[in-house]
Amino acid sequence: PKFTIVAGARPNFMKIAPIIHAFQRQKKAGIEVGYRLVHTGQHYDKKMSGDFFEQLSIPEPDANLGGGGGTQAEQTAAIMVAFEKELMENRPNLVIVVGDVTSTLACSIAAKKLQIDVAHVEGGIRSGDLSMPEEINRMVTDSITDHFFTTSEIANVNLRKAGVPEERIHFVGNTMIDTLMAQLPNFRKPQGEMFNHLRPGNYFVMTMHRPANVDQEHSLKAMIDAILEGIGGLSIVFPVHPRTAKNLQNLGINAANLLLCEPLGYLEFNYLVKNAKGVITDSGGVTEETSVMDVPCITLRDNTERPETTLLGTNELVGTDPKKLKPYLDKIMKGEWKHYQGIPFWDGKTADRIVDTLIKTYS
Ligand code: UDP
Protein backbone atom coordinates (compact mmCIF):
# COMPACT_ATOMS: atom_id res chain seq x y z
CA PRO A 1 0.00 0.00 0.00
CA LYS A 2 0.94 3.63 -0.51
CA PHE A 3 0.49 6.28 2.13
CA THR A 4 0.92 10.05 2.02
CA ILE A 5 1.76 11.72 5.32
CA VAL A 6 1.04 15.42 5.73
CA ALA A 7 2.82 17.88 8.03
CA GLY A 8 2.53 21.64 7.96
CA ALA A 9 3.16 23.43 11.23
CA ARG A 10 5.28 23.10 14.38
CA PRO A 11 2.90 20.95 16.43
CA ASN A 12 2.66 18.48 13.51
CA PHE A 13 6.33 17.59 13.33
CA MET A 14 6.58 15.84 16.72
CA LYS A 15 3.40 13.93 15.83
CA ILE A 16 4.59 12.60 12.45
CA ALA A 17 8.20 11.78 13.40
CA PRO A 18 7.40 8.49 15.17
CA ILE A 19 4.96 7.45 12.42
CA ILE A 20 7.66 7.86 9.80
CA HIS A 21 10.12 5.95 11.96
CA ALA A 22 7.57 3.14 12.37
CA PHE A 23 7.15 2.98 8.57
CA GLN A 24 10.93 2.88 8.19
CA ARG A 25 11.11 -0.09 10.59
CA GLN A 26 8.42 -1.96 8.63
CA LYS A 27 10.29 -1.37 5.39
CA LYS A 28 13.52 -2.61 6.95
CA ALA A 29 11.70 -5.76 8.07
CA GLY A 30 10.81 -6.41 4.44
CA ILE A 31 7.18 -5.27 4.45
CA GLU A 32 6.22 -3.71 1.13
CA VAL A 33 4.99 -0.26 2.01
CA GLY A 34 5.38 3.08 0.25
CA TYR A 35 5.07 6.47 1.91
CA ARG A 36 5.52 10.04 0.83
CA LEU A 37 6.03 12.88 3.23
CA VAL A 38 4.43 16.14 2.14
CA HIS A 39 5.27 19.42 3.89
CA THR A 40 2.58 21.98 3.14
CA GLY A 41 4.91 24.86 3.97
CA GLN A 42 2.43 26.36 6.46
CA HIS A 43 5.32 27.06 8.84
CA TYR A 44 8.46 27.75 6.84
CA ASP A 45 10.65 29.60 9.37
CA LYS A 46 13.70 27.48 10.31
CA LYS A 47 12.90 27.89 14.01
CA MET A 48 9.31 26.68 13.49
CA SER A 49 10.07 23.93 10.97
CA GLY A 50 13.57 23.02 9.72
CA ASP A 51 15.10 22.64 13.18
CA PHE A 52 12.49 19.99 14.07
CA PHE A 53 13.33 17.90 11.01
CA GLU A 54 16.96 17.90 12.10
CA GLN A 55 16.41 17.24 15.81
CA LEU A 56 13.70 14.60 15.36
CA SER A 57 15.44 12.78 12.45
CA ILE A 58 12.58 13.38 10.05
CA PRO A 59 13.69 12.77 6.45
CA GLU A 60 13.55 15.57 3.87
CA PRO A 61 9.95 15.91 2.64
CA ASP A 62 9.25 14.39 -0.78
CA ALA A 63 7.33 17.53 -1.66
CA ASN A 64 6.99 21.01 -0.23
CA LEU A 65 3.82 22.83 -1.22
CA GLY A 66 4.94 26.32 -0.20
CA GLY A 67 1.51 27.12 1.22
CA GLY A 68 2.57 29.51 4.01
CA GLY A 69 1.36 33.02 4.79
CA GLY A 70 -1.89 34.84 4.11
CA THR A 71 -5.27 34.74 5.79
CA GLN A 72 -6.97 31.53 6.98
CA ALA A 73 -8.84 31.23 3.68
CA GLU A 74 -5.85 32.12 1.50
CA GLN A 75 -3.71 29.54 3.26
CA THR A 76 -6.41 26.85 3.14
CA ALA A 77 -6.98 27.48 -0.56
CA ALA A 78 -3.28 27.55 -1.49
CA ILE A 79 -2.65 24.27 0.32
CA MET A 80 -5.73 22.61 -1.20
CA VAL A 81 -4.76 23.56 -4.75
CA ALA A 82 -1.18 22.38 -4.36
CA PHE A 83 -2.10 19.20 -2.48
CA GLU A 84 -4.73 18.21 -5.06
CA LYS A 85 -2.01 18.41 -7.71
CA GLU A 86 0.36 16.38 -5.54
CA LEU A 87 -2.31 13.69 -5.07
CA MET A 88 -3.09 13.51 -8.78
CA GLU A 89 0.58 13.00 -9.55
CA ASN A 90 1.23 10.55 -6.70
CA ARG A 91 -2.05 8.91 -5.79
CA PRO A 92 -1.87 6.99 -2.48
CA ASN A 93 -4.35 4.55 -0.90
CA LEU A 94 -4.62 6.77 2.13
CA VAL A 95 -3.69 10.26 3.33
CA ILE A 96 -2.58 10.60 6.95
CA VAL A 97 -3.21 13.97 8.60
CA VAL A 98 -2.36 14.84 12.20
CA GLY A 99 -3.52 17.41 14.74
CA ASP A 100 -5.67 20.44 14.10
CA VAL A 101 -3.84 22.99 11.95
CA THR A 102 -4.95 24.55 8.65
CA SER A 103 -3.00 21.91 6.72
CA THR A 104 -4.95 19.14 8.48
CA LEU A 105 -8.22 20.61 7.23
CA ALA A 106 -7.06 21.57 3.72
CA CYS A 107 -5.41 18.24 2.94
CA SER A 108 -8.22 16.07 4.26
CA ILE A 109 -10.73 17.92 2.07
CA ALA A 110 -8.52 17.71 -1.03
CA ALA A 111 -7.95 13.97 -0.49
CA LYS A 112 -11.56 13.06 0.21
CA LYS A 113 -12.77 14.94 -2.88
CA LEU A 114 -10.46 12.74 -4.93
CA GLN A 115 -12.01 9.75 -3.14
CA ILE A 116 -8.85 8.91 -1.29
CA ASP A 117 -9.26 7.60 2.27
CA VAL A 118 -8.25 9.86 5.15
CA ALA A 119 -6.77 8.86 8.52
CA HIS A 120 -6.79 11.49 11.27
CA VAL A 121 -4.21 11.03 13.99
CA GLU A 122 -5.51 12.78 17.14
CA GLY A 123 -9.08 12.56 15.81
CA GLY A 124 -12.14 13.08 17.97
CA ILE A 125 -10.92 15.69 20.43
CA ARG A 126 -13.14 18.73 20.99
CA SER A 127 -13.00 21.94 23.00
CA GLY A 128 -16.47 23.07 21.98
CA ASP A 129 -14.97 26.52 21.39
CA LEU A 130 -15.63 27.61 17.81
CA SER A 131 -13.81 30.89 18.32
CA MET A 132 -10.58 28.93 17.83
CA PRO A 133 -9.68 28.03 14.25
CA GLU A 134 -8.31 24.69 15.50
CA GLU A 135 -11.77 23.56 16.64
CA ILE A 136 -13.20 24.22 13.18
CA ASN A 137 -10.29 22.31 11.66
CA ARG A 138 -11.01 19.34 13.95
CA MET A 139 -14.74 19.27 13.27
CA VAL A 140 -14.45 19.51 9.49
CA THR A 141 -11.61 16.99 9.28
CA ASP A 142 -13.44 14.47 11.47
CA SER A 143 -16.62 14.81 9.42
CA ILE A 144 -14.82 13.25 6.41
CA THR A 145 -12.25 11.01 8.13
CA ASP A 146 -12.27 7.24 7.50
CA HIS A 147 -9.88 6.13 10.26
CA PHE A 148 -9.65 7.88 13.61
CA PHE A 149 -6.53 7.28 15.68
CA THR A 150 -7.45 8.58 19.10
CA THR A 151 -5.47 9.76 22.11
CA SER A 152 -8.09 9.30 24.83
CA GLU A 153 -11.32 7.57 25.82
CA ILE A 154 -12.95 11.02 25.83
CA ALA A 155 -12.18 11.32 22.11
CA ASN A 156 -13.72 7.88 21.51
CA VAL A 157 -16.88 8.98 23.29
CA ASN A 158 -17.08 12.17 21.20
CA LEU A 159 -16.82 10.12 18.01
CA ARG A 160 -19.38 7.54 19.11
CA LYS A 161 -21.79 10.37 19.96
CA ALA A 162 -21.29 11.69 16.41
CA GLY A 163 -22.28 8.28 15.05
CA VAL A 164 -18.86 7.05 13.96
CA PRO A 165 -18.90 3.22 13.72
CA GLU A 166 -16.73 1.46 16.30
CA GLU A 167 -14.50 -0.25 13.72
CA ARG A 168 -13.27 3.12 12.49
CA ILE A 169 -12.14 4.26 15.93
CA HIS A 170 -8.64 3.06 16.83
CA PHE A 171 -7.70 3.95 20.39
CA VAL A 172 -3.91 4.00 20.13
CA GLY A 173 -2.54 6.77 22.36
CA ASN A 174 -0.47 9.81 21.59
CA THR A 175 2.33 10.06 19.03
CA MET A 176 3.48 13.34 20.56
CA ILE A 177 4.33 11.32 23.67
CA ASP A 178 6.18 8.75 21.51
CA THR A 179 8.48 11.59 20.49
CA LEU A 180 8.78 12.88 24.04
CA MET A 181 9.79 9.49 25.40
CA ALA A 182 12.19 8.76 22.55
CA GLN A 183 13.91 12.14 22.87
CA LEU A 184 14.05 12.39 26.67
CA PRO A 185 17.68 11.21 26.85
CA ASN A 186 18.65 13.80 24.23
CA PHE A 187 17.21 16.87 25.97
CA ARG A 188 19.84 19.58 26.34
CA LYS A 189 20.17 22.95 27.97
CA PRO A 190 19.88 25.78 25.46
CA GLN A 191 23.07 27.66 24.70
CA GLY A 192 23.41 31.28 25.73
CA GLU A 193 24.37 33.33 28.72
CA MET A 194 20.77 34.16 29.60
CA PHE A 195 20.15 30.49 30.48
CA ASN A 196 23.31 29.99 32.57
CA HIS A 197 21.78 30.69 35.97
CA LEU A 198 18.81 28.33 35.46
CA ARG A 199 18.78 25.36 37.83
CA PRO A 200 16.12 22.67 38.27
CA GLY A 201 13.16 24.26 40.02
CA ASN A 202 14.39 27.86 40.08
CA TYR A 203 12.51 29.15 37.02
CA PHE A 204 9.25 28.97 35.09
CA VAL A 205 8.59 28.50 31.36
CA MET A 206 5.79 30.17 29.45
CA THR A 207 4.40 30.09 25.91
CA MET A 208 1.54 32.14 24.45
CA HIS A 209 0.26 32.32 20.91
CA ARG A 210 -3.55 32.04 20.90
CA PRO A 211 -5.22 35.10 19.34
CA ALA A 212 -7.44 35.51 22.44
CA ASN A 213 -4.32 36.03 24.58
CA VAL A 214 -1.86 37.85 22.34
CA ASP A 215 -3.75 39.94 19.80
CA GLN A 216 -4.80 42.65 22.28
CA GLU A 217 -1.76 44.47 23.59
CA HIS A 218 -3.37 45.60 26.85
CA SER A 219 -4.52 42.10 27.83
CA LEU A 220 -1.16 40.60 26.88
CA LYS A 221 0.51 43.16 29.13
CA ALA A 222 -1.92 42.58 32.01
CA MET A 223 -1.26 38.83 31.84
CA ILE A 224 2.51 39.18 31.78
CA ASP A 225 2.38 41.65 34.68
CA ALA A 226 0.26 39.20 36.71
CA ILE A 227 2.67 36.37 35.96
CA LEU A 228 5.71 38.40 36.98
CA GLU A 229 3.97 39.43 40.18
CA GLY A 230 3.06 35.84 41.03
CA ILE A 231 6.43 34.15 40.59
CA GLY A 232 8.21 35.98 43.37
CA GLY A 233 11.32 37.09 41.49
CA LEU A 234 12.06 33.70 39.92
CA SER A 235 13.09 33.79 36.27
CA ILE A 236 10.63 32.92 33.55
CA VAL A 237 11.73 31.82 30.09
CA PHE A 238 9.39 32.93 27.31
CA PRO A 239 10.22 31.61 23.82
CA VAL A 240 8.15 33.94 21.68
CA HIS A 241 5.97 32.52 18.90
CA PRO A 242 6.13 34.59 15.67
CA ARG A 243 2.46 35.46 16.13
CA THR A 244 3.17 37.03 19.53
CA ALA A 245 6.43 38.80 18.68
CA LYS A 246 5.15 42.07 17.26
CA ASN A 247 2.69 42.90 20.00
CA LEU A 248 5.19 41.97 22.65
CA GLN A 249 7.76 44.34 21.18
CA ASN A 250 5.25 47.19 21.23
CA LEU A 251 4.67 46.65 24.94
CA GLY A 252 8.32 47.30 25.71
CA ILE A 253 8.17 45.24 28.92
CA ASN A 254 11.49 45.32 30.66
CA ALA A 255 11.88 42.97 33.59
CA ALA A 256 15.24 41.39 34.40
CA ASN A 257 13.65 38.03 35.25
CA LEU A 258 11.59 37.82 32.03
CA LEU A 259 13.87 35.92 29.66
CA LEU A 260 12.57 36.49 26.14
CA CYS A 261 13.99 34.39 23.34
CA GLU A 262 13.11 33.08 19.89
CA PRO A 263 11.21 29.79 19.61
CA LEU A 264 13.50 27.06 20.94
CA GLY A 265 14.38 23.73 19.40
CA TYR A 266 12.39 20.75 20.67
CA LEU A 267 15.27 19.33 22.72
CA GLU A 268 16.08 22.65 24.34
CA PHE A 269 12.47 23.62 25.03
CA ASN A 270 11.63 20.32 26.67
CA TYR A 271 14.86 20.35 28.68
CA LEU A 272 13.67 23.63 30.18
CA VAL A 273 10.13 22.31 30.71
CA LYS A 274 11.31 19.12 32.38
CA ASN A 275 13.35 21.05 34.93
CA ALA A 276 10.95 23.96 35.44
CA LYS A 277 9.13 24.83 38.68
CA GLY A 278 6.03 25.22 36.53
CA VAL A 279 4.78 26.06 33.06
CA ILE A 280 2.25 28.69 31.98
CA THR A 281 0.86 28.19 28.49
CA ASP A 282 -2.03 28.43 26.07
CA SER A 283 -0.71 25.56 23.94
CA GLY A 284 -2.45 22.21 23.68
CA GLY A 285 0.58 19.99 23.08
CA VAL A 286 2.56 21.51 25.93
CA THR A 287 -0.13 20.44 28.46
CA GLU A 288 0.33 16.84 27.33
CA GLU A 289 4.11 17.00 27.65
CA THR A 290 4.06 18.68 31.09
CA SER A 291 1.61 16.02 32.29
CA VAL A 292 3.81 13.11 31.27
CA MET A 293 6.89 14.85 32.72
CA ASP A 294 4.92 15.60 35.92
CA VAL A 295 5.58 19.33 35.76
CA PRO A 296 2.86 21.70 37.10
CA CYS A 297 1.05 23.40 34.22
CA ILE A 298 -1.31 26.37 34.14
CA THR A 299 -3.38 26.80 30.98
CA LEU A 300 -4.49 30.32 30.12
CA ARG A 301 -7.70 29.24 28.41
CA ASP A 302 -11.32 28.67 29.45
CA ASN A 303 -11.55 25.25 27.82
CA THR A 304 -9.41 22.41 26.55
CA GLU A 305 -9.80 19.74 23.90
CA ARG A 306 -7.49 17.58 26.06
CA PRO A 307 -9.46 17.18 29.33
CA GLU A 308 -7.44 14.07 30.24
CA THR A 309 -4.55 16.45 31.01
CA THR A 310 -6.62 18.07 33.75
CA LEU A 311 -8.22 14.83 35.00
CA LEU A 312 -5.13 12.59 35.05
CA GLY A 313 -2.34 15.03 34.30
CA THR A 314 -0.82 18.16 35.82
CA ASN A 315 -2.83 20.72 33.88
CA GLU A 316 -5.20 23.30 35.42
CA LEU A 317 -7.50 25.48 33.31
CA VAL A 318 -7.17 28.95 34.79
CA GLY A 319 -8.80 31.08 32.08
CA THR A 320 -7.70 34.36 30.56
CA ASP A 321 -8.39 36.71 33.47
CA PRO A 322 -5.05 37.77 34.99
CA LYS A 323 -6.70 38.26 38.39
CA LYS A 324 -7.35 34.50 38.65
CA LEU A 325 -3.70 33.55 38.35
CA LYS A 326 -2.23 34.29 41.79
CA PRO A 327 -3.70 31.40 43.87
CA TYR A 328 -2.55 28.87 41.27
CA LEU A 329 0.96 30.29 41.16
CA ASP A 330 1.04 30.28 44.97
CA LYS A 331 0.20 26.59 44.95
CA ILE A 332 3.04 25.84 42.56
CA MET A 333 5.44 27.95 44.62
CA LYS A 334 4.49 25.99 47.73
CA GLY A 335 4.91 22.66 45.93
CA GLU A 336 1.25 21.76 46.44
CA TRP A 337 0.42 20.64 42.91
CA LYS A 338 -1.28 17.45 41.73
CA HIS A 339 0.84 14.71 40.13
CA TYR A 340 0.58 12.75 36.89
CA GLN A 341 -1.53 9.63 37.27
CA GLY A 342 -0.79 8.00 33.92
CA ILE A 343 -2.93 8.22 30.78
CA PRO A 344 -3.82 4.96 28.98
CA PHE A 345 -1.65 4.18 25.94
CA TRP A 346 0.57 7.22 26.36
CA ASP A 347 3.45 4.78 26.48
CA GLY A 348 5.73 5.63 23.57
CA LYS A 349 4.40 2.87 21.31
CA THR A 350 1.48 4.62 19.62
CA ALA A 351 3.04 4.99 16.16
CA ASP A 352 3.68 1.22 15.95
CA ARG A 353 0.02 0.59 16.69
CA ILE A 354 -1.04 3.07 13.99
CA VAL A 355 1.27 1.67 11.32
CA ASP A 356 0.34 -1.95 12.16
CA THR A 357 -3.34 -1.10 11.78
CA LEU A 358 -2.81 0.75 8.49
CA ILE A 359 -0.71 -1.96 6.92
CA LYS A 360 -3.24 -4.63 7.94
CA THR A 361 -6.13 -2.54 6.62
CA TYR A 362 -4.59 -1.59 3.28
CA SER A 363 -2.53 -4.66 2.31
N1 UDP B 1 7.79 23.72 21.34
C2 UDP B 1 9.14 23.81 20.99
N3 UDP B 1 9.78 25.00 21.15
C4 UDP B 1 9.17 26.11 21.66
C5 UDP B 1 7.80 26.00 22.03
C6 UDP B 1 7.14 24.80 21.85
O7 UDP B 1 9.74 22.84 20.54
O8 UDP B 1 9.80 27.17 21.79
C9 UDP B 1 7.09 22.44 21.12
C10 UDP B 1 6.42 21.83 22.32
O11 UDP B 1 7.32 21.01 23.06
C12 UDP B 1 5.30 21.02 21.70
C13 UDP B 1 4.91 21.84 20.48
O14 UDP B 1 6.02 22.70 20.23
O15 UDP B 1 5.80 19.75 21.26
C16 UDP B 1 3.67 22.64 20.75
O17 UDP B 1 3.43 23.47 19.70
P18 UDP B 1 2.49 24.73 19.77
O19 UDP B 1 2.41 25.27 21.14
O20 UDP B 1 2.93 25.64 18.67
O21 UDP B 1 1.10 24.15 19.29
P22 UDP B 1 -0.21 23.64 19.98
O23 UDP B 1 0.14 22.40 20.72
O24 UDP B 1 -0.73 24.71 20.83
O25 UDP B 1 -1.12 23.34 18.83
Reported as a single tens digit per residue, the pLDDT across 132-157 is: 999 999 999 999 999 999 999 999 99
| 79 Cα–ligand 1 center, Å | 22
* Helix or strand holding residue 149 (H, E): strand 147-150
Shortest-distance atom of ligand 1 to CA 283: 24
Name the residue at shortest CA distance from atom 21 of ligand 1: 11
| 187 Cα–ligand 1 center, Å | 15
How far is 307 from 59, CA to CA, in rounded Å? 33
pLDDT digits 0-9 by tens, 4-25: 999 999 999 999 999 999 999 9
| 164 Cα–ligand 1 center, Å | 30
What's domain 2-173+346-362's superfamily in CATH? Answer: Glycogen Phosphorylase B; (3.40.50.2000)
Give every residue of the chain whose pLDDT is below 50, as ranges: none
Q: Given 209, 218, 241, 339, which residue is catalytic?
A: 209
Give the residue extent of every domain in the chain.
2-173+346-362, 188-333
Long-range contacts of 178-182 (CB under 8 A, 24+ apart): 178/17, 178/18, 178/348, 178/349, 178/350, 178/351, 179/14, 179/15, 179/17, 179/18, 179/56, 179/266, 180/14, 180/270, 180/289, 180/292, 180/293, 180/348, 181/292, 181/347, 181/348, 182/18, 182/348
Are 2-173+346-362 and 188-333 equal in CATH topology? yes
Residues sharing a CB contact under 8 Å with residue 175, sequence separation 6 or more, in sequence order: 14, 15, 16, 17, 18, 19, 98, 121, 122, 350, 351, 354
What residues line ligand 1, using a CB cutoff of 6 Å? Answer: 10-11, 14, 207, 239, 263-264, 266, 269-270, 283-286, 289
Mean pLDDT, the chain, integer: 97
Q: Is 339 noted as a catalytic residue in this protein? A: no
pLDDT at 178: 98
pLDDT at 172: 98
Shortest-distance atom of ligand 1 to CA 52: 7
| 91 Cα–ligand 1 center, Å | 31
pLDDT at 190: 98
Name the residue at shortest CA distance from atom 3 of ligand 1: 264
| 83 Cα–ligand 1 center, Å | 25
pLDDT at 252: 84
Does domain 188-333 bear CATH number 3.40.50.2000? yes
Give the count of beta carbons closer than 10 Å to the beta carbon of residue 360.
9
Q: Which of 195, 266, 309 has the most ligand 1 atoms within 8 A of CB, as the residue to mutate? A: 266
How far CA 223 is from CA of 226, 253, 277, 298, 305, in Å, comes to 5, 12, 19, 13, 22
pLDDT digits 0-9 by tens, 193-236: 999 999 999 999 999 999 989 999 999 999 999 999 999 999 99
Name the residue at shortest CA distance from atom 2 of ligand 1: 266
